[in-house]
Amino acid sequence: MTACDAVDGSSTGASGKIDLNTASPAALTRFFTALTGDQSKGSRIAAQIVEFRKPKAQGTPGAGSAEARFTTVMQLDQIDGMSPLLFRTALRHVTVRSGRPEPDIEAASPATLRLLNVAPKQAAGKRGLPTGGSMTIRADISAPDGTRFIREALVSLESGNGCPFVIREWRRGDIDSSSAQGAARACLRVRDAAAS
C-alpha cells in the first residue's frame, strides 16, 4: 500500500532561541510580552524566570549553594502564570543550551524574530550545517485524509562516544499554520509496515 503524504521539516539551532538560563531580563520580557499580548504579564513571567535560575541555599550548613537552573525547557511549566497554551507556544522558541543573553539573529526562526520585533537580515548565502551546539528538528507530516503527525527532537551535535549527535528530548509539536506557508511539500511513499 502506498500513499503520498505531505512532509514539512525544519530545524532551528539553539543559538537562535531564547535561553531560559542566560537570556537577559529585557529579552525575556520582550518575548513573553509578545506571546501574551500583555506587558505586565510578560514582565512578571520574565522576573519569575530570572528568580527560578538563581542559586538556592542548601539546607545543610557548609554545603554551599545549589545551581537552580533550567535543565530542560519542560521546566518552563513550573513558572507561575504559564498557561498550557502559553507553555506549548513558547516551547519552540526557547532553549537551555545556547548560553546567550540574546538569540543569534542569523540563526533565529522567522517566527522568533517576529516575536522579538526584529527584522531578519538578508541572507548572504546558504549556511552549512552547524558543527556543534544544539538544534531542534521539527517534522510535520500530513496525510491525504488531513491527519497530521508532528514531532520535535532536541539534538546536540557532539562528537563524543563515537556518535555525531545525541537526542536530548522528544516532544509532540503543535500545529503552526505559519510554518507550512510557502514551503514546498514533498511526496513521501509509505510502504506496507511488514516491509520495514
> Which residues touch 96 (CB under 8 Å, ≥6 apart)?
19, 20, 21, 69, 70, 71, 72, 73
**Would the pTM count as exceeding 0.85?**
no
The residue type found at 71 is T
Per-residue pLDDT tens digits for 82-125: 999 999 999 989 988 888 898 888 888 888 888 888 876 655 45
Q: What cell does 168 get? A: 536530548
12-62 per-position pLDDT tens digit: 567 889 999 999 999 999 999 999 999 999 999 999 999 999 887 555 454
- 143-184 pLDDT tens trace: 888 888 888 877 777 656 666 677 777 777 665 544 443 333
